Each structure stands twice: as C-alpha cells, then as structure tokens.
Structure 1
Amino acid sequence: MGKTKRLKMGRRQPKVPLDQQIENENAVQSKGRIKIRPKKNEDEEYVDAKLSEKIINEARKQQQELEDEMPPSERVKLTAPKLGPTNDQDEEKEEQDSDNDLDGAYYENIEVNEEDEKALELFMNKDGPRQRTLADIIMEKITEKQTELHTQFSDAGTLQIEELDPRIKKLYEGVRDVLIKYRSGKLPKAFKVVPSLRNWEQILYVMEPHRWSAAAMYQATRIFASNLKEKMAQRFFNLVLLPRVRDDIAEYKRLNFHLYQAVRKALFKPGGFMKGFLLPLCESGTCTLREAIIIGSVITRNSIPVLHSAAAMLKIAEMDYSGANSIFLRIFFDKKYALPYRVIDAAVFHFLKFERDNRELPVLWHQSLLTFVQRYKNDVSSEQREALLGLLKRHHHYLISPEVQRELQHAKCRDVEVLDTDMKEMP
C-alpha cells in the first residue's frame, strides 16, 4: 500500500471581515505588476531589401562618376557598402579592406624620415647571423635523422623528428589548405590538438605556416600561447611568428591588424615573448626603424611584469648597439618601473660606452638618455652622474643635451641619500 499523497494547500489568505470581502468582489483590483511596453517610434521607417539594393547601386554609380572626374594623382579609394560577397575573391578583398581599416585603430600611420633611416643603417650589423625559420631547422633535423635513425629527445624545448604516418600527413595537409584561406569562424579540431603533440614543430612544418592567412596566424598564436609551456611557446614565437611579422612589415610597410593582435597575444607568455621575439629581433642587428616603432607600440599598450621587463632591459643594454635598442629602452624607461640597481647600472654603462665612439649618434640615442635621466636620475650614484655629465661634452645635441644636464644637476643621488641617513643616525 503506497503512501497517501499530501494535498498541496494554497497560500493562506488573511482574515478579512465579511463586508469588506463583498466590497472587494464587486471592485476590480490591480495585481501590482506593471507591464512596460516599448513605444513604437512613428517616425521610424524601414527600407525593404529591393529598395536598399537600388540605393546602393546608385551610390556605386555616383562614386564611379566622381572617381572618373578626378585626376589620377588625386584619386582616393572610396568604399561603398556591400550586400554580401558574390564569390571567394570578393570575400577575400573585403576581409583585407576591413583589416586595413581596423589596423589604423591600433597605431597611427608611420611616416619614417629617410634621413633617420639612413642614420640608423650606420649602426646596423648587416653581417650578423641570418634569421632562422622553422623550415631551416626542420631541414637540419631531417638531415640528422637520415644519418641517425631512432634518435629520441627528452627535452621539451628541442625539436623532435619522427616518421609521420601518411594518413596523418594527408590530414594536416588538408588543415594547411584551410588555414591558407581562413578568414573567420571555427578552426579544424585537428589543428587545436597540435600543441599537445610531441612532434608539434614537425606538424607545423607540414602545414607551411609561412603561407597561412593573417587571421589564421592570430588564431594559431592564441592557441599556442595558451597551451604551450614557456620554452615551447618561445620557439613558436621565434621560428614562426617573428619571421612572419618581419616579412609583412617589409612587404607592406605596415603590420596587418591580425598579426598586430598576434604579437599582443604573444605577451600572455612574457618570458617566451622576450626570449623568443624581442631579444632575437634586437640581436639580429637588422631591426629597422619601422619595425621598432610598431613592435614598441605593442609593448607600450600592454602591461608586462617588472621582472621580465627588467631582464629584457638588462640584455638590451649589454648588446651591441643599434638604433632599435634606443627605441625599446626608451619605451621601457617610460613605463616607470621600480628597477633594481643592477639594471640601472647596466643602463648607465650602456650610455657610457659611447664615450670613445667618434660616430655621430642618432637623435634616438639622445632621447633615450633624456628619458632615462628623467625617470631614474635619483637612482644613479654621484660617480655615475659625473660620468654622464662628462659624456654630454663628447656627444652633444643642441636641444636635448641641455635638458639632460639640467636633470642631472638637480638629481639626488642614491649614495648621497645613504650618507645623509647615516649622519642623522649618529649621536
């Protein structure tokens, strides 16, 4: 015999006198709920699809007439709205135009002075080592594999070459074809598991990353930066992202919006970004003024932990000088970190080693020195301050050097503050 079901009792009503109950039944009561209905705008009118298509076609005709009337030297590319791409070529062109429009929202159009570029070329190390790409290293490892079969590597940061199954190779060749034409949307699932593979670099080589679209490169950077360890992410930034970014800037004199976002996404692994992207770019000795300004804007717009920035500043200050070094150092100085004295000393020695350099230093070098003195004048020692004042006599800029001298003369050096506190503590 089952249990008897309990009857659900309604909510108990409060006791009300009989006369009031009769009055309530005769009157209509509001439930307390207020419905808010949006008012329609009577002035709002909608245009149907056929009429909007006619309007757009007329706008295109007028645009073409205006362009025909203009002289060829003054013609400006005007874009009319599209109802939708008619084929793959129109879709690709539309995506490229939108990329260029969005690009300007992240850094201004860079107009590099030819004189500044020539001045920086004097400090470039054109005989330095060539930038190695993923394809170069893969070919070297394949050559080693042919001589030493069944070689195993235990380090996660080293490249691992294995015999690929023909089915796997065919699969990732299909993924490669998708990434070459990729614009937006979902990525193949086979691509998302690449970071978890032991021979992920070899799989990347099969997919030919130098042929990927800019949007695919951004998605790849996002996936690899979030799923790889720092040492492995460093290799991806160095072998895949850095050569692609440099090639794009050299080809188009600016950086694609998606590649710019990829560089920003790489900063989610700040250690891997510094070791795999920024420091190799400075060490190459061939970093142009345009490249330094674009990559520097990424560093300016993003927050970077002080330890990673301090280590990068220390390495850049100890490198052989190039004009790009001054740009990156000035950007890091402007972040106003509380730097350890070791980094301060390295920056001072970076400037003092030009005391015996007879070349005319670029304006970027003087600007970097001024920024350093403005931010860290109270962190240098009195001996370093005197040495910097002597450096100004050797390398003088008629506008910047007086400001540097004024800042140094009003500086409270760190060793002077220590002496003052010691004197106050003495009885």
Structure 2
Amino acid sequence: MGKAKKIKVSKGQSRPEKVGLAEQIEGEKVVKPKLQKKVRLRDDDDEEFVDANLSRKILSQARKQQMELEDENEFGESSSGKKLATKLGPDLSDNEFDDSDNEVTGNEYYEDIEINEEDERSLQMFMRHDKAPTRTLGDIIMEKLNEKKTEIETQFSEVGSIQIQEIDPRVQTMYEGVGDVLVKYRSGKLPKAFKIIPQVRNWEQILAITQPHRWSAAAMYQATRVFASNFRDNMAQRFYNLVLLPRIRDDLAEYKRLNFHLYQALRKALFKPGGFMKGILLPLLESGDCTLREAVIVGSVIAKNSIPILHSSAAILKIAEMEYTGANSIFLRIFLDKKYALPYRVVDGVVFHFLKFERETKELPVLWHQAFLTFVQRYKSDISSEQKESLLQLLKKQYHHTITPEIRRELQHAQCRDAEISEPMMEDPFL
C-alpha cells in the first residue's frame, strides 16, 4: 500500500481546513454554487484604442456591407472628389479612357471634358445640318393614339411594334403616382408596380404614363437595370433608343457634362450588347449630329467594358459603311484598340472605309488619322498586298505631318496575309 500524496499549496493560498468524514458525505449531497472570479478586461482610467490600420480595415468592410445592403447602389460620392479633365486633340492617348475617369464629383457629374475647339470645328464640317427632330417614346405613343383613337375605344389593336390597349383608369392613376415617385427618387427600392412593367404586353404605353423625361437621373439608372435584366435584345433596344438615349443627349446639351447616374446607366445598358449597339451607338451616329463630347463619353463606356466579338464586328462593319460624320473615327479607334481577331470581311470593310477618302477635298480631322494609324498597327498583317499598295497611295492624298510618316512606316514593314513565306529547304539526313 503506497503512501498518501501530500497536497502542495502555493504561498498565496491558505491551507484547506480539516473536515470530518461525516461532514464530507453530507456536503456532497448538496450542490454548491461555483464562485467564478470576474476578470476585468480593461480599466476605465486606462483605455486602449484600436490601431489606426485596423480601424481603416473595419470601416472598409463596413462600407462594403452597406453597399451590398443597398442592392448595388453605386450612387455614392467619390472619396477623392476631384474632377478629371479629358483633353482631345493630336495627343489623344489611351489614358483618356482609363478607369480613373469614373469618378463622382461633388455635383454628381461624371466628368468635365475639355473640348479642343479645332477638332470640334473639323467635326462640324462633316455633320448633317438637315437633321430630323428627335422622337421620344411619348411622341410615338401619342401619334399612334391619335391615328387609332376610334379603334382603341372599341377593341385591342396592334400598331407597328407598339402594343396599344385601353387602360383601366385605376391603373393609369397608379402609374401616374409611380411617375411622381420617380421624379423625386434618389435611392432605395423602386415601387413594385414599376418592376412589373417588363412583364406587361403594352409596356411602352404603360411606361409613357410615368413620363420618363421627368425622371431623376438616379431613377433612370434603376430603370435601366430593371429593363436590361428582364428584356430581350429587341425590347431593350427600344427602351435604349426611345428613353435612355434622348435623356443622355439632352443632359449633355444642357449641362455640357453627363450626370454620373446616367453614365452608370450607359454602362448597365451594355448588359444587352445587341440592344446597346442598335439602340444607342448606331442611332447616335446615324443622326448625323453626334458631337465630340457625346462620342467621347459613349466611347469610354465601350472602351471600359468587355463586348462579345460578334457584336463588335457587326458594329465596326456598320460604322465603316455608313456616311462619315467625324465621330465615326472615335468609335472605330476604340473598337480597333480592343485587339479583336476580326474576320477578313470586317478588315476589308475598314480598308474600304479609309479608301473612300482618297478624293476627299475637305481637311480631315486628326481623329481620322489616329484611327487610320490604330488600324494599321493592329491589323497590318490581315490586309492583302493590293490593299497595302492602295493605302500607301492614300497617304499621298491625305497627309498629317506627324501621323502619316508613322502609318507609312507600319505599312512598309507589314507582312500581308497573301504573301508567301519562303522557308529554307531542309536537307534530307538520309541522303
């Protein structure tokens, strides 16, 4: 039988009192509360502050969570609050379309663009002055209603691509109230009645009741998000063309700069690239009076976002074939700078576009020469030998003192697609 172990007691502890066996047995029958010693983490007189770096990280995460809770609300002001100016002219560089331009100023405008007066005068020479008045969604709806007024009163009718239907007075009153909400809208959730408009057959007629021309810029962005997510390309195209594009052009004409919410609406519209090309880009160029400011801002949206090659190729071919108005060169240069592997048909279309100016007597803007240089730099190996000689002849008619020598140098060192590559014959090791 071993010896009983002694209980070690530290200096700070008192020795346990001797208790009899009977008292120990009785004591085990009763549950005793445990006395927990409370540990005070900090003293009020000696407070410890969180480190500055940790505070910055906590605030950053809190901001991200707040943005998520606001349902991707991108209306906040930029922390820097600085304005970036974009200068156009001979030194037009890729940095002008950098992501750093995407800032919100204190007045919630996208950017203040500095326009080169010489380039603007050059573009005005190619603008179409007999422009037809812009038609909005409200104008088209009222025209169709006046034409078919008697028919609408009796039955449902379909006029062109717009569905016209007699609307219940209660529904009309409700959507007039929705329109009043969108006029003052700044942030938060949209009315539920507005979100179901894409599911209605006569959505254009319902949308006209809300008077889109009176919406706030923030409401226009939210509406673009809703319609871009729920519409097919052809329906989104009509919304972009009849509602979004007129609003953007009016905003630029009035304030000479684009509201940040409308710029975000342009970026969101690219969710449907086919609708964007047919509803915004091509109508803007076909109007014949696209200004330099409009071309740069819409072009920056194209430059900053990824677009499928099929949509871009179709847009390049269409721009190359349409009547030249000056802004075409800006969009051609932006698309060519994306470095797509374009089909030969598109490359040939761009070559013919430049060759059309061989007999042009007007002085071409610098932007035309820049687009020409970009095309040669990116696709000089995709042109044929015949096209190469024709482009070299074009340089003798259309000349720029700094850009043309660079274009000629690129063409002279180009390896054309139909040139035979001569390889040295390999000797047969068995001979």
Bin of the TM-score, shorter chain as denominator length: 0.7 to 0.9
Alignment of 1:251-290 (within 5 A): 251-290=254-293
Report the CA distance between 1:112 and its aligned residue: 0.2
The counterpart of 1:392, out of the listed 391, 395, 403, is 395
Report the CA distance between 1:100 and its aligned residue: 12
Q: Aligned residue for 2:170? A: 167
Check the 8 A contact 2:151/2:157 in 1, yes or no: no
The counterpart of 2:368, out of the listed 365, 369, 380, is 365
Relative to the length of structure 1, the TM-score reads 0.75
Q: 1:392 to 1:109 in 2, by over 3 A?
A: same
The counterpart of 1:42, out of the listed 39, 48, 53, is 48
Report the CA distance between 1:272 and its aligned residue: 0.5
Report the CA distance between 1:129 and its aligned residue: 3.1
- 1:186 aligned to 2:192? no
Q: 1:164 to 1:382 in 2, by over 3 A?
A: same
Q: 1:209 to 1:103 in 2, by over 3 A?
A: farther
Task: Provide the rounded CA distance (Å) in 2 between the counterparts of 1:358 and 1:288.
Answer: 22
Letter in 2 for 1:313: I
- 1:246 aligned to 2:249? yes
Check the 8 A contact 1:99/1:256 in 2, yes or no: no
Report the CA distance between 1:353 and its aligned residue: 0.3
Task: Provide the rounded CA distance (Å) in 2 between the counterparts of 1:297 and 1:38.
Answer: 55
Letter in 1 for 2:274: G
Q: Aligned residue for 2:386? A: 383
Task: Provide the rounded CA distance (Å) in 2 between the counterparts of 1:422 and 1:163.
Answer: 75
Letter in 1 for 2:157: Q
Letter in 2 for 1:420: I
Q: 1:412 to 1:165 in 2, by over 3 A?
A: same
Please list the CA deviations of residues 344-369 of structure 1 after superposition, one character each: whole Å capped at 9, or x if unmatched: 00000000001111111000000000
Q: 1:194 to 1:280 in 2, by over 3 A?
A: same
Secondary structure at the aligned position of 2:114 is classed as coil
Q: 1:410 to 1:147 in 2, by over 3 A?
A: farther
Check the 8 A contact 1:117/1:289 in 2, yes or no: yes
Q: 1:184 to 1:423 in 2, by over 3 A?
A: same
Please list the CA deviations of residues 55-92 of structure 1 after superposition, one character each: whole Å capped at 9, or x if unmatched: xxxxxxxxxxxxxxxxxxxxxxxxxxxxxxxxxxxxxx
Task: Provide the rounded CA distance (Å) in 1 between the counterparts of 2:186 and 2:83.
Answer: 16
Q: 1:172 to 1:352 in 2, by over 3 A?
A: same
Secondary structure at the aligned position of 2:158 is classed as coil
After alignment, is 342-351 or 96-105 more displaced? 96-105
Report the CA distance between 1:168 and its aligned residue: 0.3
Q: Aligned residue for 1:88? A: none
Letter in 2 for 1:356: R
Letter in 1 for 2:262: L
- 1:329 aligned to 2:332? yes
Secondary structure at the aligned position of 1:153 is classed as strand
Q: What runs of 5+ residues in structure 1 fail to find an aligned partner?
A: 1-17, 27-36, 46-94
Q: 1:38 to 1:277 in 2, by over 3 A?
A: farther
Q: 1:22 to 1:286 in 2, by over 3 A?
A: farther
Q: Aligned residue for 2:149? A: 146
Report the CA distance between 1:153 and its aligned residue: 3.3
Q: Aligned residue for 1:124? A: 127
After alignment, is 375-384 or 134-143 more displaced? 134-143
Report the CA distance between 1:323 and its aligned residue: 1.2
Alignment of 1:192-203 (within 5 A): 192-203=195-206
Q: 1:387 to 1:424 in 2, by over 3 A?
A: farther
Task: Provide the rounded CA distance (Å) in 1 between the counterparts of 2:320 and 2:182.
Answer: 39
Report the CA distance between 1:231 and its aligned residue: 0.6
Q: Aligned residue for 2:210? A: 207
Task: Provide the rounded CA distance (Å) in 1 between the counterparts of 2:339 and 2:50.
Answer: 53
Aligned residues: 346
Report the CA distance between 1:128 and its aligned residue: 3.4
Secondary structure at the aligned position of 1:287 is classed as coil
Q: 1:370 to 1:196 in 2, by over 3 A?
A: same
Check the 8 A contact 1:124/1:323 in 2, yes or no: yes
RMSD: 3.2
Please list the CA deviations of residues 86-112 of structure 1 after superposition, one character each: whole Å capped at 9, or x if unmatched: xxxxxxxxx998799598651653100
The counterpart of 1:295, out of the listed 293, 298, 309, is 298
Task: Provide the rounded CA distance (Å) in 1 between the counterparts of 2:416 and 2:351.
Answer: 13
Check the 8 A contact 2:156/2:166 in 1, yes or no: no
Task: Provide the rounded CA distance (Å) in 1 between the counterparts of 2:47 and 2:247.
Answer: 52
Q: Aligned residue for 1:31? A: none
Secondary structure at the aligned position of 1:160 is classed as strand
Secondary structure at the aligned position of 2:399 is classed as coil
Task: Provide the rounded CA distance (Å) in 2 between the counterparts of 1:424 and 1:364.
Answer: 46
Specify the structure having the higher radius of gyration (Cα).
2
Q: Aligned residue for 2:352? A: 349
Report the CA distance between 1:225 and its aligned residue: 0.2
Check the 8 A contact 1:370/1:403 in 2, yes or no: yes
